[in-house]
Amino acid sequence: MTSATHGAGSISGRLPRLPVSEVLGDIAAAFSSGVRAVLSAPPGAGKTTLVPLALLDEPWCSGKIILLEPRRLAARAAASRMATLIGEPVGERVGYRMRLDNRVSARTRIEVVTEGVFARMILEDPELSGISCVIFDEFHERSLDADFGLALALDVQSALRDDLRLLVMSATLDVERIASLLGNPPVIISEGRSFPIDIRYADRPAGSRIEDVVARSIIQAHDTETGSILAFLPGQAEIKRTVERLEGQLGAETDIVPLYGNLSQKEQDLAIRPAPSGRRKVVLATSIAETSITIDGVRIVIDSGLQRLPVFEPSTGITRLETQRASRASADQRAGRAGRTEPGIAIRLWHAGQMAALPAFTPPQILSSDLSGLVLDLAHWGVQDPATLAFLDQPPRAAFIEAKALLIRLGALDAGGGLTDMGRQMREMALPPRLSAMVIAAHGRGFAKQASLLAVLLTEQGLGGSDIDLDERLRRFRNERGERPEAARKLAERMIADLPKTAQSNETIPAGHLLLHAYPDRVALQRGGRGRFVMANGRGAELPETERLAAAQMLVIADLTGRAAQARILSAAETSRADVEDELADLIERKDECFFDRNSGQVRARQVVRLGAILFDEKPLPRPRGEQAIAALADGVREIGIDALPFSKDGLQLRQRMGFLHRTIGDPWPDVSDDALLARLDDWFIPLQQGVTGIDSINPGKLSEGLRLLVPYEVVRDLDRLAPTHFEAPTGQRHPIQYDGDEPLLTIRVQELFGLKIHPSIGGGRLPLVLELTSPAHRPIQTTRDLPGFWSGSWKDVRADMRGRYPKHPWPEDPAEALPTTRAKPRGT
C-alpha cells in the first residue's frame, strides 16, 4: 500500500487533496525500489508541504526528513503550514532550523532548514546519523549552498549511506541535467495546478522608472479587479519608492506591505498573513516571495521582470549587486503565486515577444560568487579539486584559484591547500572567511566579543540601522531591542564560545581597527577630494559629500556596489595610517622602484612606502638605468599604447606591409596589431632600447629594426618581393604602395600609366594592386583592378570629361599606345 492510500491513522490519510497528491504514490514507489528521485511540479501544486508529510509514513523512513529551503521566510512558512496540517504547533513533529532561530524538539521528524544550515550539518556529521531522507526544494534557484549540499549528499550516499533517500524538486526544473547528475533516477512530473492563471502583458515604456510603472499597474488592477495584489520589484529601494507613489491612492481599506530580506521576522510574517476580513492587501516584494510561501488572498501578481543578483569579481574580491532581467523560470514561479488559493491574474510588465529572449533559468550562484567559504569547506571535507564532487556546474577556475589564494593569505590553508589549525577555527564560526579571520585576530588582542558583534552585523542585513558608518551601526546594534537583535547578539556569543580562553578587554575598539584584518585590500585613502577614495586593490570608491565619513582621510570599506571608479560605499569605518602600519605591517612595502611617469613620458625612480595601490610616502631617486628602466619604459608603452611610439613614415609603412602579409598569408608573417605588439614587447621592443629612459628618446629606426626581429630570418628577404614599398611607373617615378586597407592601394596620376598593357601587381604577379587613378590635380577620377579593361572601356567617358578640365595635359584616344608622362603638353600642341 502506498503513502497515498494509508488509513486514517496515518498522516497521509489526513492530508488535503492538492495537484501533487496524484503523484505521491509514484514518489513512494520510486523510494521503495531506489534512493534517488526528481519531482517537477508547478507553483501551487503543494509539493513543499505534502511530500515530506507523506513520506513520513513510508516503511524505510525511521529517521528524520530534512527539507531544504532557499530562504528563512520560506522555511518558517513551510514548517508552519505542515504543522497546521497535522494539528500541531511548530517544534513538535515538524520544526525548523536556521541561523538565528530554531524550533525543534526530541519529537521532531521533519526539519525544515535553510540550505546553509544543511551544508554545515553534513560537514559536521558526514553519515547524517538519524536522517532517512533529504529533500532539496526549489532547487531551480541554484544557490551555492544548495549545489554544495547536493554534491556532499551524493558523496555521502555513495560512500557511507547507501540507504539515504535524496529527492530534488522544483516548480521549474532543468529536469534533464539534474536527472543526469543523479544517475537518471525516476523523474516524476505533476502536471496539475491548483487554479488557472490568466497571464497578461503590459509593455513598459522605454526610459520609464520601474516604480512608476509598477505603481500605475497596481492602481489600475486594484480599481478593476478583486483580491489582494503581490508585486515583484528588484530591491528594497524600488519597493520604498513604490510605497511612496501608492500612498493615498488605494483607499483606506487596503494595506500596503513591503516584503524583503532586511525586515524583521514579525514584519515578514505580517506580509504573508492573510488580510483581515473586509480588507485588501498590496504586498511589494523582492524575489524572496517567489517560492514556497502562500500569501492567502492574493489573486493578482504584477511582475516587473527584474531581479537583483550578486556578481563577484575575483580580481578585486568584491561582490556587487546587479539588476538583471528575471529568467523564464522565475517569471513562471512569480505568476504561480496568483493561483495558489483561487483563479488568478499575472500581469507581466514587458512585451509578450520578449519572453523568448529571457534566459531559461536564473544563473547558478556558483558561477558568480565568492568561493572562499566553499574552498574552506572543501578543504575540511578533504577535497582540493572540486571536480571530484558531483556539482551540477563546476566552480569557475579563476574564482576558485583566487579564493584559495585568499585563504592562504588569511592563514586558513597551508601552501599545499591543506586545512590549518587557523582554518579549523575559522570554519567553526559559520562566518565568511574574511570575517572569521577578523574575529580570531581580535580574540588574540582581547576584543573577540566586539569583533563577533561586528561580524554578525555585517552578515545580518538591517541590524543597527542602515548608516554607512559601521561604528554608529555597531553602537545602535548593542542597544537595539527586539527578538532579532537579541538572537543576533546570542549568536555572536556562541561564535566565540569555543575559542581558547584568553583575557578579554572591556574597552571599546574602533570598528575600522577590527576590519583591517578582514579587508586589508579595501583599506582606502582619500584622493581627489571629499568623499573620493582609492582602495589598496586599485579600485576607486565614493561617498556622498554630506556623509560624515566623506571627510575621513582613511577608511576600511566592508561593502560597496557599482562598477569601477563609480563604486558607491555602502558600509565602512574610519581608520588611520598608524593603525594600518601597526596591524598590517607585513603588507606594507618599503622599497625603491622604477616607474613610468605618464605626464612627462619619462622613466623615473623613487623610494616608496605603500599598501597595494595606496602610496603613503615617496622620495625621488636619481634617474634609473639598465634593465629596470627598460622594463618600466615597456610598462609605460603598455599603459599609453602603441600609437604613442615615434614610428617613422617608413616604419609605419613597414608595419602595414607586415600586417598585410599576416592577413593574406598568415604564418610565418607575424600579427602586428596593437594588442599583438603590446603582448610581444619583450621580443621586438625591449632588446633595442638600451639606455633609453623616455618616449622622446626612442630612436624611430630602432622601432623599425625591432619589427623586423618578429619576422623569421629565412623569410625576411621575401618581404620586399611580396610586399614592395613602391611601384615604379613607366615614367621611372617611384610611388608608395599603401597597405593599411584590405587590399594594397596605389594612388597615381593616370598619365604615368600610359602605354601599360598589363595591370600592376605584387607578390610575383599574383595579387593585383588597387589603382586609384587621379587627375593632374591629384583628384581621384577612377578606381580599378583591371587597367587594360579601363583603357578599352570607361576611359572614353573619363577622357571626354577631363579634356575640358585639363586641356594642357595629354588625353589620347588610345592610352595603351601612348607614351607615359609626368608633364603637360608642350606649348602650341
pLDDT of 657-684, one tens digit each?
999 989 888 889 999 999 999 999 999 9
Handedness of CA 415, 419, 421, 427 (dihedral sign): positive
Which pLDDT belongs to residue 545?
92
Is a pLDDT exceeding 80 seen at residue 12?
no
Of all residues in the chain, the percent with pLDDT exceeding 90 is 60
10 Å CB burial of residue 407 (0-12, 13-18, 19+) is buried
DSSP structure class, residue 826? P
pLDDT band at 827 (very low <50, low <70, confident <90, very high): low
Mean pLDDT on 575-598: 92
Mean pLDDT on 244-266: 87
Give the residue among 136, 148, 198 at the shortest CA–CA distance from 173. Answer: 136
Question: In 86-174, which residue ranges form alpha helices assigned H by DSSP?
Answer: 115-124, 144-159
Maximum mean pLDDT: which of 554-568, 696-710, 790-804: 696-710
Counted domains in the chain: 4
CB contact at 8 A, 694 and 706: no
Domain match, 148 and 212 both: no
Work out the number of other CB atoms within 10 angstroms of the CB of residue 63. 15
DSSP structure class, residue 103? E
Domain match, 235 and 341 both: yes
Quick check: is 506 in a domain?
A: no
Which pLDDT belongs to residue 505?
82
Half-sphere exposure in the Cβ direction for 767 (13 Å, CA): 17
CB contact at 8 A, 814 and 793: no
Mean pLDDT on 346-364: 89
Is a pLDDT exceeding 50 seen at residue 88?
yes
405 Cβ contact list (under 8 Å, min separation 6): none
Give the residue among 391, 438, 385, 386 at the shortest CA–CA distance from 412. Answer: 438
Which pLDDT belongs to residue 6?
40
Question: pLDDT digits over 700-744, tens only?
Answer: 999 999 999 999 888 888 888 889 999 999 998 999 999 988 889
Domain match, 663 and 797 both: no
Which pLDDT belongs to residue 7?
37
Quick check: is 41 in a domain?
A: yes
Domain match, 17 and 105 both: yes
Question: pLDDT digits over 264-319, tens only?
Answer: 777 888 888 888 888 999 999 998 877 767 777 889 999 999 998 888 877 677 77
- Look at residue 384 and give its three-state secondary structure: coil
Domain match, 659 and 784 both: no
Which pLDDT belongs to residue 380?
94
CB contact at 8 A, 194 and 53: no
Question: pLDDT digits over 368-393, tens only?
Answer: 899 999 999 999 999 999 999 999 99
| More confidently predicted of 264 and 637 | 637
Which pLDDT belongs to residue 2?
38
* Cα separation, 370 vs 405, whole angstroms: 12
Which pLDDT belongs to residue 528?
84
Q: Is the peptide bond before 668 cis (omega within 30 degrees of 0)?
A: yes
Domain match, 360 and 228 both: yes
Domain match, 777 and 710 both: no
Domain match, 668 and 732 both: no
Quick check: is 11 in a domain?
A: yes
Mean pLDDT on 563-590: 89
The mean pLDDT of the chain is: 89
Quick check: is 445 in a domain?
A: no
Domain match, 177 and 233 both: no
Q: What CATH number does residue 20 fall under?
A: 3.40.50.300
Give me 336's grid cell. 504561480
Strand partners, 658: none
Of all residues in the chain, the percent with pLDDT exceeding 70 is 97
Mean pLDDT on 136-154: 93
Which pLDDT belongs to residue 130?
95
Which pLDDT belongs to residue 665?
84
Q: Please state, in angstroms and as integers, the Cα–Cα distance from residue 472 to each residue in 295, 449, 489, following that order.
A: 36, 17, 16
Kind and range of the H or E run holding 541 = strand 540-542
Which amino acid would we find at residue 27? Answer: I
Q: Tell me the backbone φ, ψ of residue 615, rounded to 5 degrees.
A: -100, 115
* Residue that terminates a domain, selected from 673, 702, 721: 721
Question: pLDDT digits over 756-788, tens only?
Answer: 999 999 877 788 999 999 998 889 999 999 999
Quick check: is 45 in a domain?
A: yes
Domain match, 140 and 269 both: no
Domain match, 204 and 352 both: yes
The predicted model scores a pTM of 0.75
Mean pLDDT on 691-698: 91
* Residue that terminates a domain, selected from 366, 396, 430: 366
Quick check: is 151 in a domain?
A: yes
Which amino acid would we find at residue 768? Answer: P
Strands 254-259 and 280-285: parallel
Quick check: is 19 in a domain?
A: yes
Give me 83's grid cell. 504543522
Residue 304 backbone class (left: φ over 0; alpha: ψ -120 to 50; beta: rest):
alpha
| More confidently predicted of 6 and 219 | 219
Is a pLDDT exceeding 70 seen at residue 826?
no
Which pLDDT belongs to residue 313?
78
Which pLDDT belongs to residue 5?
39
Residue 591 backbone class (left: φ over 0; alpha: ψ -120 to 50; beta: rest):
beta
Half-sphere exposure in the Cβ direction for 247 (13 Å, CA): 7
* Residue that terminates a domain, selected from 335, 366, 397: 366
Domain match, 113 and 185 both: yes
pLDDT band at 14 (very low <50, low <70, confident <90, very high): confident
Quick check: is 28 in a domain?
A: yes
* Cα separation, 825 vs 822, whole angstroms: 10
User: What residue numbers bound the domain in which 43 lies?
Assistant: 3-189
